[in-house]
Amino acid sequence: MPPKIRGMTANFNSPQGAQKRFTLMLAGEDAYDADEEQAIGDRPLKGLPHERFLLGDLLPLAPVLLLGQTSQVVNPSEVIACLQPVHLHATRDHLILMGQNQIDLTEAESTELLKAALPFIEEDFQSNILYQDSRYWFIPAGPFASLDSYSVDQAHGRNIEWWMPRDSNVEGIAKQWRKLQNEIQMLWHIDPVNQAREQVGMPSINSVWISGIGKLHDVKAPGILQQVHSLYGSHPILAGLAKLLKLSYETEFHIQMAPGSFAWLDQPERIWPELSQALLNKELDEVLLIDFPKGKVRERVLTRKDLYKKSWAFWKKSDPRTWKEIIL
């Protein structure tokens, strides 16, 4: 039998229950795959399922990421954009966006590339860069505030024609962005940073990506985050949400931290044996598992009795359920 699927029950809302509950979120994928992209015809749904779950449908990724990476005050009413130096891989008939974990861009390289592009960026955005590191550059969105965009996490590995920024309620903004993007591409084509990278077989940084446009006031965090005291996981979204919601935050998770906390972990299967034991030892009353089959939010509550397979042979000890069986 699968674990129970519950809504917001009395126990879910009780402070005592929350103290001995651990919430584990799994990353979600788009509800459709690359083969279906051409059939949809209009535009992809903005944001990965877990991004929409954590931030709401407006997906103000940029200000949340900025908040998590800097000590500076972020104006909650200011619309902010995230720029990322990327590599576009040319195939026979289209370009594919590579994920930033595939390009090994150093802090020094990122700084030099930004220095070269900065006059163009600040002129078109009509503002100064707020913060930069090797992967992210943040700037007030200015004239690009209405641009409809998609994160690198969502668009990487795919034909960029489907994921390029588009106009929303103001016409001509996407064209204005593509003009700036092309200018930066030409500038970086001859940049010493790329010449040095190509000499050692590294992918060139041949384009810049814009995404996450929004303001902190746009964040619609899920109710579950109002019932936890700590967030755990390495994704920078969590760092920003923790600051915004005044929760403690750590990148590393240990089982002792589980009661009353929320985690989004890179390899959640690794902690399942410890979570099972914590339930058996009554260190936890329940684990709330959140995942996104076919792009839809699914919340399931696991208790001690959900750890073992159901069997008609009641006189035999049931076999424990594996992680793969749990997440079906």
Say what the pLDDT of residue 315 is: 53
Q: Per residue in 270-294, pLDDT tens?
A: 999 999 999 999 999 999 999 999 8
10 Å Cβ neighbour count for 289?
A: 21
10 Å Cβ neighbour count for 7?
Answer: 7
**CB-CB neighbours of 59 under 10 Å:** 25
| Banded model confidence at residue 18, pLDDT cuts 50, 70, 90 | low
Residue 72 has pLDDT above 50, yes or no: yes
**pLDDT (0 to 100) of residue 245:** 97
Residue 1's pLDDT is 37
Beta bridge partners of 81: 139
Q: What percent of the chain has pLDDT over 70?
A: 88
Q: What is the pTM of this model?
A: 0.88
Residue 100 has a pLDDT of: 78
Residue 90 predicted with pLDDT over 90: no
Q: What does the pLDDT look like over 176-206, one tens digit per residue? A: 999 999 999 999 999 999 999 999 999 999 9
* Res 314: pLDDT: 56
Quote the mean pLDDT of the chain: 88
Answer whether 325's CB lies under 8 Å from 62's CB. no
CB 79 within 8 A of CB 130: no
What pLDDT is attached to residue 34? Answer: 44
Q: What is the pLDDT of residue 9?
A: 36
Give the pair of three-digit tokens for residue 292: 């996104």
Q: Is 214 exposed, middle or buried (0-12, 13-18, 19+ CB in 10 A)?
A: buried
pLDDT of residue 125: 97
Map residue 148 onto helix, strand or coil.
Answer: strand
- 97-154, pLDDT tens digit by residue? 987 778 889 999 999 999 999 999 999 999 999 999 999 999 999 999 999 999 999 9
Quick one: average pLDDT of 240-252?
A: 96
Give the mean model confidence (pLDDT) for residues 78-88: 96
Rounded CA-CA distance 161/102 in Å is 20
